[in-house]
Amino acid sequence: MVEDYKVKVENVTKEYDLFKTQSEKLRSFFSLKNKRRVPHFWSLMGVTLTIKPGETMGLIGVNGSGKSTLSNIISGIIPQTTGRVDVKGDTSIVAIRAGLRNKLTGRENIRLKSLMQGMTNEQIDEMMPDIISFADIGDFVDQPVKSYSSGMRSRLGFAIAVHIDPDILIIDEALSVGDDTFYQKCVDKITDFKKEGKTIIFVSHSLKQIRMLCDRVAWINYGELKMVGPTKEVADKYHEFTQWFKELSKKEKKAFQKERKNVQKNFSIKKYEQEVTEQHQQENPNDKSIPSKVHKLFYGSVISEKMSVFNQILTWVVLIALVFFCLVNVSGYSLEHVFANPQLLFNPTHTLHIP
């Protein structure tokens, strides 16, 4: 039987290198040493989740638990480090920190996002007044988005997202920054979307909003999927956890957070791959190809953000060749002469005379 889903993420991880400076990042890019001196952090440590067509899935979790990372991976803003992500249809994300180009005006953002969604200029011209009216940001629509307040960004983002009619709408904390009138307008629109059978991913810290809008909820806890299930069940458990956390002393809270973050820093992708392989082998003991299948599941659909050693060597070779040919050119000798006597490179045939 074919599984019916809109979004499926399998064993998804996300690693960030914590570079202190840009030069540190550049040096690591060209470094041939495999030793990992830069501290790194696993924002997601193997999340597997399926979202069905027409479902509103809530994502909850404390600050920094990985909700935005996951929703950004699903919407294609950032790539996963390992794992498979299958999204059936167009996504549109409304988030305070993503989705809009800061240097463009509101009106230009509307056009850009609509064009990216495959709309024609005529369709956009027709729809423009409706989007501007929904966003209700007045003359700011012709100002660069970098001058907007978080509420205004959210208004514009939401107005664009709902008007371009995506298959999957992703709302990341965007309702928490608007005023009451706008909030109600958004809730009404989300309810319409639900009635139309659209798929929605709703990220929020507000359990009230989650309980009101979501069919199921996934609780992301410090990079791991702690629980997924019917809204009431997961929301109640999460509430219990937040109450327990609130009652800890300041020192206990810090120790708990530090311990969780250490787990994220010390996560081993090799060990995790091994665990997933063993799990699959237990389910299918006669299948000898499990290790290669799991390896393909982990790395088959990801584009590495890091240069392989081969590519690094190739880059160095190209750079050295480029410098060499520049020197040959400047020296005034032919390539043949330079090969026969490399010292000629440092004794050019002529010198430059500045008039």
Ligand X SMILES: Nc1ncnc2c1ncn2[C@@H]1O[C@H](COP(=O)(O)OP(=O)(O)OP(=O)(O)O)[C@@H](O)[C@H]1O
Q: Interface with ligand X by CB under 6 A: which residues? A: 16, 18, 41, 43, 61, 63-69
Comparison of 16 and 272: residue with beta carbon closer to ligand X: 16
Cβ closer to ligand X: 4 or 305? 305
Distance between CA atoms of 199 and 165, rounded to whole angstroms? Answer: 11
Q: Closest CB to ligand X among 43 and 91?
A: 43
Task: Give one DSSP letter per residue of 220-255, joined into a string.
Answer: EETTEEEEEEEHHHHHHHHHHHHHHHHTS-HHHHHH
Least Cβ distance, residue 222 to ligand X (angstroms): 8
d(CA 35, CA 147): 43
Minimum Å gap between C-beta 225 and ligand X is 12
Rounded CA separation 294/6 (Å): 22
10 Å CB burial of residue 64 (0-12, 13-18, 19+) is: middle
Nearest distance, CB of residue 215 and ligand X, angstroms: 21
Q: Enter the tokens of residue 330.
A: 């400047």
Q: Which residues contact 144 (CB under 8 A, 6 or more apart)?
A: 102, 103, 104, 105
Any idea what DSSP says for residue 40? E
Q: Of 225 and 344, which CB lies nearer to ligand X in the complex structure?
A: 225
- Beta carbon of residue 65, minimum distance to ligand X (angstroms, whole number): 4
In whole angstroms, how close is the CB of 342 to ligand X at the nearest point?
45
Shortest spacing between CB 157 and ligand X, in angstroms: 15
Expressed in angstroms, the distance from the first to the final Cα of the chain is 82
Compare residues 65 and 277 and give the one whose CB is closer to ligand X: 65
For residue 227, which phi and psi values (nearest 5 degrees)? -160, 145
CB 16 within 8 A of CB 97: no
Between 141 and 201, whose beta carbon lies closer to ligand X? 201
What is the signed CA dihedral for 129, 135, 136, 139, rounded to 10 degrees? -70
Residues 205 and 209: their CA atoms lie apart, in Å, by 8
Nearer CB in complex with ligand X: 41/183: 41
Q: Which residues pair with 199 in a beta bridge?
A: 168
Please state the closest distance from residue 172 (CB atom) to ligand X, in A.
7
How many Å separate Cα 332 from the centre of its chain? Answer: 51
Token pair in block for residue 63 = 């600050």
Query: Which one, 82 or 114, has the nearer CB to ligand X?
Result: 82
- CB nearer to ligand X: give 99 or 106: 99
Shortest reach from residue 231's CB to ligand X, in Å: 18
Closest distance between ligand X and the C-beta of residue 41, in Å?
6
- The string of DSSP codes covering 122-144 is HHHHHHHHHHHHHHT-GGGGGSB
Helix axes 150-163, 106-116, angle to 10 degrees: 30
Backbone angles phi, psi at 229, to 5 degrees: 170, -165
| CA pair distance 265, 277, nearest whole angstrom | 22
